[in-house]
Amino acid sequence: MAETMVKDLADVSFINEVCAIPGGEAIRSCIQCGVCTGSCPTANQWDYPPRRVIAMVRAGLRDELLSSNSMWFCVSCYSCTVRCPRDIKPADIMHALEIIAIRSGKSTKRSKTPTMYRCFVDSARGNGRVYELGMMIKLFLKTNPFAALKLAPVGLGLFFHKRLPLKPSRIKGMGELKAILNKARELGGAK
């Protein structure tokens, strides 16, 4: 009996956690129709497809879900969002889950996306804009350096078309940008 009560509390706390993040609030009105999964171009890569992700939040399966690769495969195409009959925004829910996964240290090692986000933010924070070459080198060093060999021809093509600067360039107004980023951190949206 006591165990059931603890489990019930855990269930409520997970759905409340998702609802508390902007974009997560609508999850309670899902009717499990599966239109989001049917619309999702990457669903075949997910451990649990979009409809099931939503069901798992409502069932309180926090650990299973947060340590899966599912939400990290969302490419923000918003097909699910425009088609959902309940006006839920599954893409926003996936991003809310990414935030919770990072905050709770559960982000999966089976997806490179969390590392890519981190490299992207570090690069933007340092220069005010993304320095693509530096960001990609950092990403490959942190994930799979040999994967860089496959992309070398693409990089060379971009370089010869002057689309891949060798040096970073910094924006004016770094002070203002830092103030914005600090505020975002204060609000809990960035680390």
Q: Binding residues for ligand SF4, per CB under 6 A?
A: 30-36, 39-40, 42, 50-51, 54, 74-80, 84-86, 88, 90-91, 94
3-state secondary structure of 68: coil
Q: Which is nearer to ligand SF4, 35 or 130 (CB)?
A: 35
Q: Which two tokens stand for residue 54?
A: 């939503």
Q: Which two tokens stand for residue 178?
A: 């830092």
Q: Which is nearer to ligand SF4, 32 or 182 (CB)?
A: 32
Q: How far is the CB of 22 from ligand SF4 (least distance, A)?
A: 16
Q: Which is nearer to ligand SF4, 31 or 149 (CB)?
A: 31
Q: How far is the CB of 50 from ligand SF4 (least distance, A)?
A: 5
Q: How far is the CB of 101 from ligand SF4 (least distance, A)?
A: 15
Burial (CB < 10 A; 0-12, 13-18, 19+), residue 94, is buried
Strands (E), 39-179: none
How far apart CA 80 and CA 1 sit, in angstroms, is: 39
Q: How far is the CB of 130 from ligand SF4 (least distance, A)?
A: 22
How far apart CA 71 and CA 90 sit, in angstroms, is: 10
Q: Which is nearer to ligand SF4, 38 or 168 (CB)?
A: 38
